[in-house]
Structure 1
Amino acid sequence: MKSPAHPTNDMLPARLPPERVVATYTWIAPFHDLLARLVEARARALGLAWAAVEDGEDVLEVAVGTGLSFRHLLRMNPNGWTEGIDLTPAMLRRARGRAARSGSRRYRLRPGSAYDLPYPTASFDLLLNSYMFDLLPVEDFPVVLQEFYRVLRPGGRLVMINMTRGTRWYHQLWEGLYRIHPALLGGCRGVLVAPYLDRAGFTGVRRRFVSQWSFPSEVLYAQKP
């Protein structure tokens, strides 16, 4: 996949300051899952399918949120080890409740930042990241992707899901909401991340567009050589 010369041209700037992320998602946490099921479920399901977890792997989910995907990772990896991090304590509390109900004991959930992952180099076979890059400033994409690259083992897989740019008029309604009040969408806007995966050194990049109730998502897969 070739990178366009100016991959940022079609992306709106990030408008939720980092210092407001935790407060915003603390407010969102009680009703996050309802919105996620309405507009994210198809993209999340495809991301998990592309992750193709093999039981016994070391798996990391960055920005675990309320654990909507994490619970499936635990089910798919009963004899492996699964880690999850998130910035927001209110989201982590809900993820911990879901994980506890799974019956698994082979996991850990803890606070953490994607900018400085608290893991040694080459620790994981798979890294899953959902609906986080659509919050980040474009200039931070390479920084976070290098952290993802660092903690993956050679041959490790990266699966990402983000809000993206759509081509139909009704996809633009979501960006209209973002322009009016970013917090209404949790600070998320449409992004195009695939070109940055190439630049970060990942190979085998593939992308699929998914729309659910007009909400545009991209699902990305890549490998560390």
Structure 2
Amino acid sequence: MDSAETYANVKDHYAEIARCTAVADHAEDYQEKVATAFGYKLEDLRSLPRNANLGVGCGNPLATANVEKGETVIDLGCGGGIDVLLAASKVGLGGKAVGVDMTKDMLDLARRNAEKAGLSNVSFIEASITSIPLDSSVADCIISNCVGNLVPELDKPLVFREMFRLLKPGGRIAISDILAKKAFPSEVKENISLYVGCVAGASEVRDYERYLKDAGFEGVLIFNTNSDLNVYKEMLQAEQPKYNGSPSRPQSQNSSCSCCNAGSCCSLQKGEFQGRAESILKLNFNNWAGSFRVYAIKPKFEIEPAIAPSKE
């Protein structure tokens, strides 16, 4: 896939998830299962509107963000709002939380959730996280949850440069993301379902570190939480297309979610996952990738380049 096709697949997939909010009780149970497996407290999850947590994260970036009252926090790829709403509660009325997402349906859902939560210090921007229409040096902290892996490889450096631009001097990033421990087998890397499911597009740890340092960050910390990625298999099993007598058309192509068993819809898979499901689900994802926490700081002062002494 080229970059345009990758973005289109990701956008369509998450738009469908956002429209699929009238889910059954067992889907809500699955969403809580995923979120608690990756470090959220049940009391925090249940303090939010029901569909703020869609079960598509891979960590809890706020666990290492050390957000304080009065700060400005930007959430890249805010989805239904789980992290940006929690951040808004932490920064208080004197602070601001800004959610950025490229998917209109997700932003519509996040705005509804912010209204239900009664939060007036949160706002949203529809944009790609490689280019965000905000002034430079406006954020104290930038968070992101399982989003960097969805960006095409060639564009990943742009994300970290944009984070660096948006942060105030001394600002920090706190990211949860799926990172690869080693090169993926072709059956994983080429599977569109695993790409939009946050696995196949994961960068290797050494590349992630390079992106951060090349952007200008210091104090880079990247560590594996050792969370069990196989929790995603329940969702992947639910996303196998169910056909209605035709190999080329899924049973459902609308937002009714009649083909879904978990919190996300399956109508976008169009058979790519169907033919490989058995072999994919036999893989132990933990052997290939992990849920990592990433922390880094923008230097407080720009380092002036050394000036060679005059020969005069």
Range into which the TM-score falls when normalised by the shorter chain: 0.7 to 0.9
Q: Deviations over 1:196-215 (max 9, x none)?
A: 11121101111121233335
Q: How far is the alpha carbon of 1:87 from its aligned partner? A: 0.7
What corresponds to 1:98 in structure 2? 113
Quickly say closer, same or farther: Cα 1:154–1:102, change in 2 above 3 A: same
Q: Does the 8 Å contact 1:38/1:213 carry over to 2?
A: no
CA distance in 2, matches of 1:211, 1:16: 32
- Which is worse superposed, 26-35 or 183-192? 26-35
Q: Deviations over 1:54-110 (max 9, x none)?
A: 110111111101112112101111120111110111211221222122222011113
Number of corresponding residues: 206
Q: Does the 8 Å contact 2:84/2:122 carry over to 1?
A: no
Q: Alignment identity in percent?
A: 27
SS in 1 for 2:180: coil
SS in 1 for 2:164: helix
SS in 2 for 1:211: coil
CA distance in 1, matches of 2:78, 2:194: 20
SS in 2 for 1:94: helix
Q: Which amino acid in structure 1 is aligned with residue 73 of structure 2?
A: V
SS in 2 for 1:66: coil
Q: Which amino acid in structure 1 is aligned with residue 113 of structure 2?
A: R
What corresponds to 1:133 in structure 2? 148
What corresponds to 1:8 in structure 2? none
- Which is worse superposed, 91-100 or 175-184? 175-184
CA distance in 2, matches of 1:22, 1:205: 30
SS in 2 for 1:153: strand
Q: How far is the alpha carbon of 1:24 from its aligned partner? A: 1.5
Structure 1 residue runs of 5 or longer lacking an equivalent are 1-12
Q: Which amino acid in structure 2 is aligned with residue 217 of structure 1?
A: S
- Comparing both chains, which one has the higher relative contact order based on Cα–Cα distances under 8 Å and sequence gaps of 6 or more? 1
Q: How far is the alpha carbon of 1:123 from its aligned partner? A: 0.8
What corresponds to 1:28 in structure 2? 17
Q: Which residue among 50, 55, 62 is the counterpart of 1:48? A: 62
What corresponds to 1:81 in structure 2? 96
Quickly say closer, same or farther: Cα 1:20–1:57, change in 2 above 3 A: same
What corresponds to 1:155 in structure 2? 170
Q: How far is the alpha carbon of 1:177 from its aligned partner? A: 7.1
What corresponds to 1:186 in structure 2? 196
Q: Which has the higher strand share?
A: 1
CA distance in 1, matches of 2:29, 2:11: 19
Give the TM-score taking structure 1 as reference length. Answer: 0.80
Quickly say closer, same or farther: Cα 1:100–1:23, change in 2 above 3 A: same
CA distance in 1, matches of 2:83, 2:155: 24
CA distance in 2, matches of 1:137, 1:222: 22
Give the TM-score taking structure 2 as reference length. Answer: 0.59
RMSD: 2.7
